Structure 1
C-alpha cells in the first residue's frame, strides 16, 4: 500500500513539473504597460546566461520563466551593453514558501569592471509561507560596495498572484525605480557623489538563485527544496537606450539622439502627481533606508535628501520605531550571474 501511494505521489509530482515546463500561450494574468514603450521578444534583446534547462521560453517568444531547483538557479542577460537606458519587465514571483529565494532584476558591469563595477538593483526577497515578499533596491557606483545604498519596502499587492511592471530608468542626470507607474525611489546625480554615480556601460540581468545564507531573517530560514521548482515569470520586456561596443566601450553614433529621447521620455520626469504617489508609497511601505541609518552613516551620503516625514518613522539608528533590526552578513557574490546582495539585511 505504501509503495502504491509513493508511486502515485511520484506521478503527481512529475505531472506537475511537466505542466509547469510546458508554457501556455496565454499568461496567467496579463499586465498593462504603464508607459508607452516597445516590448521585445526574448531573442530580440536577451540571451540565456546560466541554468541549463531552467530557463523556459513561451511558444511566442515574448515571455520567459526562470526556475530554481536543488541543482541550479537560472538567469538571462541583455545581448548588448547600454550607456544609460530604460529597463523594464513585468514579473510574477514564486508563490507559497519562498524563504531564501532571491529574484533579481538589475543592471551591472561586474563582469567587465571587477573592482570598479556599477550596479542598479531590484532584488525580490522571498519569505516563509504567510509572510509577504519584500523588495530591495540598491545603487553602486565605481565599485562602491562598501557604501551600499539599500532601501527596503513591502508592497501594496501580492506579487505572486499577477504580473506587475518593475522598471529602472538610468540617465546621466538621475535614476528612478518604478513599480508599475509609481516611482518608489529617485537618485539625482550631484557633484558631491563623484564616481559613486553609475556611469559606465552596463548589461541588464534577471536571475533567480539560492540566498539561504542571508535573504530571509538574516539566514534563519533557508530554501526548502520540497517546494521546488521555484518559478519566476517575465514578460513585457523592455530595453531602451544607447548600445555600446563591448570591446572598445564606445557608444554608437546615434547615442546623442537616443540619450536626448531618453531624457525627454514620459518616465524620465517625476511629475507632481507621481511625486505625491512616491511620497505616499515611501511613507507607507519603506521600512529601511540607508539615508536614515546613522549607525552606518553618521553623516548621510551626499545624494541623500532627508525628508522629515520619512525620517520621523525611524529611530536615530535608522530602524523603524515599531521594531526590526539589521544584521551584517558576508558578501555573496561568487559570480555576477548569481545576482547581488547588500551588506546589511533586515529581519523585518
Structure 2
C-alpha cells in the first residue's frame, strides 16, 4: 500500500466548503488492519427468516432482505468473551426510509433482563438526504442508561460497501468505519456493571422500524421498492469463543484476550485521534454526554471535549437547526431468546477520506 494517498475529487459550486476541503487534503502513512475473514458457515447461522437470507455461491457474503413478509437476521454461532467484529456492509439503495440495518453484539438470549449490548444501527434515509446512524452501549440491562450517539455519514453507503467494526476489550471499546475510529469508550471503575463484560454474540439484521427510524416516524417503509437488500461480506469474528449453551470457553481466554489487546485496532494512534476528532466535530449531531436533561452529571466514562460541547445544547443536540430529524428514545428490536427468534419469522413491522480531512 502506498504511503501517501492523494484525494482526487471534483467539487461543484454547490458542494459545501466542508467537502471542498476534503478534496484538497491527503492521508499519509496509511496501513491496513491485518484481518482474517471467514465464510458464512464458519462462524454464522440464521437467526430468523431463512427465506430472506441469500448466501453467495462461495459463501463469503450474505444478503439480508426485507419485504412485506418479514425482515431477516443472522447470528454468530458462538459467544465471544471480548473480540473484534467486522463486516463490509452495503445498505439498501433507492428509497430506504423506515428501514433499520443493525450490526451489533448482544447476550439478550441468555441474560434477558440484564444483558449487554454494543450497537451500530443505520436509520434509513430519504433520497437525497444523508444517511444517519447511531452507536450505543448497554451493560447489565441498563436500558435506562443507554449511551447513544448519532451521526451523519460522509458518503452514500448504498453505493458501495464500507467496513464497519466493533472492538471490545476489558479496557476499552472502539467503533470504526473503514479504519477510522469514530468513538472510543474507555472503561472507568465507576461504570461498574454498565460496562459490557459478559460473553456476547454478533448479530446482523434488517427490519421495519417505520414507527421511529426516519424523521421520527414521519417517513415509513414504502414496499413499492421491495425487496430491500443489505449485503454483508469480508466477515471477521476475532476473540475467545465461548460455548453458546454452557457459556464457558473450551480454553483459557487469558492468552487470546492478551493477543486481542495487542492488535493494531486496539489502540488509537495520534493520526487516528485527529481523524476521530474531525469526524465527531463535523458529523455527530447527538451525544448523551452533553444531554444535561437526561444526565445531570455526565456518566463517568464521558470525556467532555470543549470543541464538541460548544456545539451542543443541554439536550445533547446540535445548537443549529438540523434537517434530519429523528427520535432519541430507546426502541426494542423485538428480539427475545435465540431459540424463539429462530423459530419465528420477524414481522415487517471511505474512511481514508475522513482521516485525510483530519490531517
Q: Place the TM-score, normalised by the shorter chain, in its bin.
A: 0.7 to 0.9
CA contact (8 A) 1:242 1:252 kept: no
CA-CA distance at 1:327 after TM superposition:
4.1
Q: In 1, distance between residues paired with 2:263 and 2:330?
A: 39
Q: 1:152 aligns with which of 150, 153, 158?
A: 150
Q: Cα deviation per residue 1:33-73 (whole Å; 9 max; x = unaligned)?
A: 94111000001000011113110011111000000001000
Match of 1:140 in 2: 138
Structure 1: runs of 5 or more not aligned: 1-32, 340-348
Q: 1:264 aligns with which of 255, 262, 266?
A: 262
CA contact (8 A) 2:213 2:326 kept: no
Q: SS of 2:137's equivalent?
A: strand
Match of 1:206 in 2: 204
Q: How many residues align?
A: 308
CA contact (8 A) 2:61 2:233 kept: yes
Match of 2:291 in 1: 293
Q: 2:89 aligns with which of 68, 91, 95?
A: 91
Residue 109 in structure 1 maps to residue 107 in structure 2:
yes
Q: In 2, distance between residues paired with 1:246 and 1:328?
A: 32
Q: 1:43 aligns with which of 41, 44, 55?
A: 41
CA contact (8 A) 1:218 1:329 kept: no
Q: What value does the CA root-mean-square deviation take over the aligned residues?
A: 1.8
CA contact (8 A) 2:217 2:326 kept: no
CA-CA distance at 1:179 after TM superposition:
0.2
Match of 2:62 in 1: 64
Structure 2: runs of 5 or more not aligned: 1-30, 348-359
Match of 1:29 in 2: none
Q: In 2, distance between residues paired with 1:91 and 1:333?
A: 20
Residue 334 in structure 1 maps to residue 341 in structure 2:
no
CA contact (8 A) 2:79 2:199 kept: yes
CA-CA distance at 1:202 after TM superposition:
0.4
Q: TM-score with structure 2 length normalisation?
A: 0.83
Match of 1:315 in 2: 313
CA-CA distance at 1:329 after TM superposition:
4.7
CA contact (8 A) 1:52 1:74 kept: yes
Q: In 1, distance between residues paired with 2:294 and 2:125?
A: 26
Q: TM-score with structure 1 length normalisation?
A: 0.85
Q: Cα deviation per residue 1:205-251 (whole Å; 9 max; x = unaligned)?
A: 00000001110111111111001101000100000000112233222
Q: In 2, distance between residues paired with 1:215 and 1:326?
A: 6
The structure whose RCO (Cα within 8 Å, separation 6+) is larger is: 2
